Structure 1
Amino acid sequence: MKRPSGTRLPSLPETTPWPIKAIRTTGSIIALAFSVTLSTHAVETEKTDEPLNVLFIVVDDLRPELACYGVSEVVSPNFDRLAAMGMLCHRAYAQYPVCNPSRSSFLSGLRPDESGVVSNKVPFRTKLPDTVSLPQLFRQNGYYTAGIGKIFHLGQDEEARPVLFEDPLSWDHFYDGMRNAPKIGKTGVGRDLTNGRLPWCKWLAAEGDDNGQADGLNTSEALRILEERHGQPFFLALGLHKPHDPFIAPAKYFDLYPEDSTKLPEEPSDKSRQVQYAIPNAKDFSSFTAKERREFKRAYQACVSFADAQLGRVFESLDRLDLWSNTMVILIGDHGYHLGEHGWWNKVTVHELGARAPMIAWVPGAKGMGEPTEALIEFVDLYPTLIDYAGLEPPHKLSGQSLRPVLDDPSKPGKAAAYSQVNRGSTVGRSVRTARWRYTEWGPHGEKGIELYDHQDDSGEYYNLGGNPERAELVKRLKALLAKGFPEKR
């Protein structure tokens, strides 16, 4: 298919990272990102009558730790280029800050309380045996569907046995490189940061190249699918495992981050005492030394740059095959992540850092491409958005709404609120985020604690205003707004 004039991306970097010397001698990585932005900002698009393909990319445990989100020390040129070409969403929120519940939610179009999936141990089809998943609907409508890597977290095989990542009803083809990664990718220089106390908490600057890792193999498989299937409508979902723990990437990506350059969060000494349930168990990391904290964050960032390089390979293929003009590209992290903030080094919180995640959208013909948005967005909106552009009817009642208005006009505010939740045993934390406030209740009506944070003055959520008498009327209003998001549980 002929691409309209102006839709071609500029030349992309090789799959290996940019040379460290070249990066550092610019004086700032962000200067490179700006040069990319200038070259892609004036992208022209036009709508076609052909079905739009879907490339859906889910990056595991990715928080907005990217240059395009203002974290200039992170080397992420391919994330940044997609952000410059498409729409960078600054306020996109997962409905549950854990892999399986989050993915089950946006793949079903249902909130976690509706899906019943609120842990990593429940297969998607156990709770939703007859629900038509997002890729399944495209498959039913003539699209070739391929799931590569981790899209679903826990599914069932054709004999109803629990199995990681699979869902036969959704895919014409499924592949995961974890089953094929060579041994060399598990050797190298690294360290266990907790002496085995937390088995996942380790890093490795691995020997071998990108295809020594599952994500490299997954990307190679995605390129094969694009090459072989680009002549027919397709829904290709690529799940990148990194930066999920353990933090393993080829050594060249660690080389992008000199050991003494990692910046750790600075937190106010007068911050409020945490509500009991806000952080799962910060004692897990209380013995971390400054060296170990830097190692953890450096390894996470190295894995982000490794994931970025895989995107570069995919984008080059889209460019070469003339697919930008008829392919929607939606990229998200499945939820947020803490890198030491509030004493926590993981996910599983409804703090802003746990609930908020990256989202970048490229939609051919949408008028807002090339512009960022501050609109409130929920991941449960992804299902209705994609089927809206594909002209498909929803197979069941969806809990989100199409983002088409925002994608045409990024100045629109989006939703009035975004909702997230997390379980702590029998105690549930339910949270609502508005343009300015985050309000969280622990227990059915907040009897186990409430949190109120003012993002105008406290973006790190360090000062809990929930018990401030001057905010009583605001708490009352936000309590009512929270109830609207969880009507069956109030």
Structure 2
Amino acid sequence: MKIKKNIPFFCALFSLFLITGCQKKQVNQKPNVLLICVDDLRPELKSFGADYIHSPNIDALAAVGVAFQNHYVNAPSCGPSRYTLLTGHYGPAGNNALFLRAKKMNEGAEEIDKSMPEWFKSNGYTTVSVGKVSHHPGGRGGKNWNDSTKIEMPNAWDKHLMPVAEWEHPRGMMHGLAHGEIREKAGNMDVFQSVEGDDYTYPDGAIADEALKQLRELTSTNEKPFFLAVGIIKPHLPFGAPKSYYDNYEGVALPEISHPERPHGKTTWHGSGEFKKYNSWGKNPNKDAAFADDVRRHYAACVSYADAQVGKVLAELIRTGADKNTIVMLWGDHGWHLGEHAIWGKHSLFEESLHAPLIIHYPGMKNKGANTNAIVETVDIFPTLCDLAGIETPNYAKGESVKEILVDPDMIGHTAVAYTSKASTIRTSTHRMTLHKDGFVELYDHTSAEKETKNIADENPELVEELKKKLNNKMY
């Protein structure tokens, strides 16, 4: 049976409890927090306008929450993006950003601001992470990412868990394919795959199971509110998901790739190095349309597989009755190019690398099912969760609470910034400006048909200077 014929986990249970009214009441004075992080998830979801995508569970969350159609991350890579999410700071541009912070903490040379989970812990919460929440799934370093002496986020979690199942260790889970296949050399691992089997054929099935176990434990006593973060790995490379999810896209026409040509002139374009590490059978998706189509379908299958794991977690939240007093946030850690600008991957400062989904639901909210076009950024999440939970927001959190936007989705929002080691960018409601370390500027008009294919910096020196000041003021 194809997955698309099944009733979504979350939708089915949500309807059941509305009918029966048999949910347990939660007695915590403070609301719980359920933060769901999905890796490499561009806004390729039906609730974000992608009609060909099968994402019923995330769409069901959007139907009872607010979907931020213009949420931008602060870095186009897993580690620095999660650093911003979890600390409320703009930070280093490398994937080791949180480990650098941990090193400073362990050396004791300076006082380090509390991370978001540590802040919630200090405000009476039990904090638990499952899966890929910080850069390393399970939050540890070492050769196989399981060294308990090398903690990525000291003092943050009461429990930081990473089931490994048949993949042996967290490193094996991170890039695992079916039936325990571990990436030792990327060139020997296929860039995509879909095999017959259930959700446990690939790593996220085990992550979802552990999340359900933790939800049951956290809701069994109601003694303290909980902050539970669940990190789903897919659709991260390699694109592997059970064949039933790939079958959702059999015969489905995919839209054309927008602006698929490599840009002219100096930009943050790159050669898709992460993608090219894997075995792609000598094929180039920029030159082989059939191969590009298959890559996109396998990415879509991974999105649907991730959506199913999200559905299990949301359904369990409802089954326990904790949904009555839980803030739920779904966040994508960055976008992903599927051929736009001839890139297959993230790491650029183009729109496709930085645009990611964000959905928020909280108890008693009025605007269920609303979309907002307000520009917000990942650094806003820390103060937003504090605001919604009714706890003090630390003065070092750099972002702005978006609670007012949740109340009035027609609000404008603000600018969003992002950075790599070589450049930084600012996005307004009409333009994107990217400033390279050597002073070179890209400026794109998002109100034009060309969008990010025509650099208009030389024609608009006054706007460039204005945006440079805004970028500098915001980041520094």
Q: 2:248 aligns with which of 256, 269, 275?
A: 256
1:202 aligned to 173, 191, 209, which one?
Answer: 191
Cα shift at 1:87: 0.3
Q: 1:128 to 1:406 in 2, by over 3 A?
A: farther
Going from structure 1 to structure 2, the CA distance change for 1:321 and 1:282 (only over 3 Å counts) comes to: closer
Q: Could you tell me how far apart the structure 2 residues matched to 1:405 and 1:70 are?
A: 24
* Cα contact 2:202–2:241 (8 A) shared by 1: yes
1:3 corresponds to which residue?
A: none
Contact 1:151–1:239 (CA<8 Å) still a contact in 2?
yes
Change (3 A) 1:94 1:342: same
- Distance of 1:268 and 1:58 partners within structure 2: 28
Distance in 2 (alpha carbons) for counterparts of 1:339 and 1:460: 17
- Rounded Cα–Cα distance in structure 1 between residues aligned with 2:318 and 2:423: 44
CA shift for structure 1 position 459: 6.9
- Classify the secondary structure of the residue corresponding to 1:329: strand
Q: CA deviation at 1:298?
A: 0.9
Q: Which amino acid aligns with 1:463?
A: K
Matched, 1:439 2:433: yes
CA distance in 2 between counterparts of 1:147 and 1:49 reads 20
User: Deviations for 1:168-208, whole angstroms, at most 9, x for unmatched residues?
Assistant: 5222222213454589x8448x9x9xxx8856761111343
What is the alpha-carbon distance in structure 2 between the residues aligned to residue 80 and residue 378 of structure 1?
21
* Residue of structure 2 aligned with 1:464, choices 425, 447, 455: 455
Give the aligned partner of residue 167 of structure 1: 153
1:127–1:70 distance in 2 versus 1, CA, 3 Å: farther
- 3-state SS of 2:406 partner: helix
Q: Quote the residue 2:109 is aligned against.
A: none
Q: Alpha-carbon deviations, 1:80-123, whole Å to 9, x = none? A: 111111000011111111000110111000012xxxx3211341
Q: Does 1:51 align with 2:43?
A: no
Given candidates 191, 201, 211, the residue that maps to 2:200 is 211
Q: 2:177, 2:304 → 1: CA distance? A: 18
Contact 2:102 2:154 in 1 (8 A): no
Mapped to 1, the partners of 2:27 and 2:457 lie a distance apart of 51
The CA distance in 1 between the partners of 2:28 and 2:407, in whole Å, is 18
Equivalent pair of 1:264/1:294 in contact (CA under 8 Å): no
**125 and 168 in structure 1: CA distance in 2 versus 1, 3 angstrom threshold:** closer
1:287 to 264, 267, 284: 284
The secondary structure found in structure 1 opposite 2:160 is strand
Q: Conserved in 2, the CA contact under 8 Å of 1:97 and 1:354?
A: yes
Paired with 1:323 and 1:387, the residues of 2 have a C-alpha distance of 19
| Range that drifts further, 216-225 or 129-138 | 129-138
**Equivalent-residue separation in structure 2 for 1:282 and 1:244 (angstroms):** 14
Partner of 1:236: 228
Return 451-460 or 321-330, whichever deviates more: 451-460
* Secondary structure of the structure 2 residue equivalent to 1:255: helix
Alignment: residue pair count: 430
Deviations 1:203-260 (A, max 9, x none): 1113431123221111111111212211241111000000001111111111111277
In 2, distance between residues paired with 1:345 and 1:141? Answer: 42
1:139 corresponding residue in structure 2: 121
Unaligned runs of 5+ in 1: 1-13, 24-32, 41-46
Counterpart CA distance in 1 for 2:214 and 2:44 is 29
Does the 8 A contact of 1:204 with 1:249 survive in 2?
yes
* Structure 1 range deviating more: 278-287 or 449-458: 278-287
SS at match of 1:148: strand
The structural deviation recorded for 1:350 is 1.1
- Quote how far apart the aligned CAs of 1:315 are: 1.9
The residue number in structure 1 matching 2:3 is 17
**Structure 2 counterparts to residues 1-150 of structure 1, below 5 A:** 17-19=3-5, 50-112=29-91, 117-122=92-97, 123=99, 124-127=101-104, 130-150=112-132
CA drift of 1:49 comes to 7.9
Q: CA 1:187–1:420 in 2, change beyond 3 Å: closer, same or farther?
A: closer
CA distance in 2, matches of 1:450, 1:313: 45
The aligned amino acid for 1:280 is: H
Q: Given the superposition, is the C-alpha separation of residues 198 and 127 from structure 1 closer, same or farther in structure 2, using an over 3 Å criterion?
A: farther
- The one-character-per-residue Cα deviations of 1:141-160 (angstroms, maximum 9, x if unpaired) are 22121100000114546977
Secondary structure at 1:206 match in 2: coil
Alignment of 1:423-438 (within 5 A): 423=421, 428-438=422-432
After superposition, what is the alpha-carbon deviation per residue over 1:279-303, rounded to whole angstroms, capped at 9, x for unaligned? 1225876933222211211111100
What SS does the corresponding residue of 1:256 show, helix, strand or coil?
A: helix
Where relative contact order (Cα < 8 A, 6+ residues apart) is larger, the structure is: 2
- Structure 2: gaps of 5 or more residues: 19-25, 107-111, 277-282
Conserved? CA contact 1:368–1:406, under 8 Å = no
String of CA shifts for 1:408-435, please: whole Å, max 9, x gaps. Answer: 11111112x1111112xxxx21101011
TM-score with structure 1 setting the length: 0.80
Offset at residue 485 of structure 1 (A) = 2.1
Tell me: CA distance 1:268–1:187, structure 2 relative to 1, closer, same or farther (3 Å): closer
Q: Give the superposition deviation at 1:333.
A: 0.4
Distance (Å, rounded) in 1 between the aligned partners of 2:79 and 2:410: 32
| Aligned-partner Cα distance in 2 for 1:300–1:460 | 25
2:467 to 461, 478, 481: 478
CA deviations 1:382-413 (Å, max 9, x no partner) are 11111122232344511111111111111111
Q: What TM-score does the superposition give when structure 2 sets the normalisation length?
A: 0.82
Q: What is the identity, as a one-letter code, of the residue corresponding to 1:222?
A: A
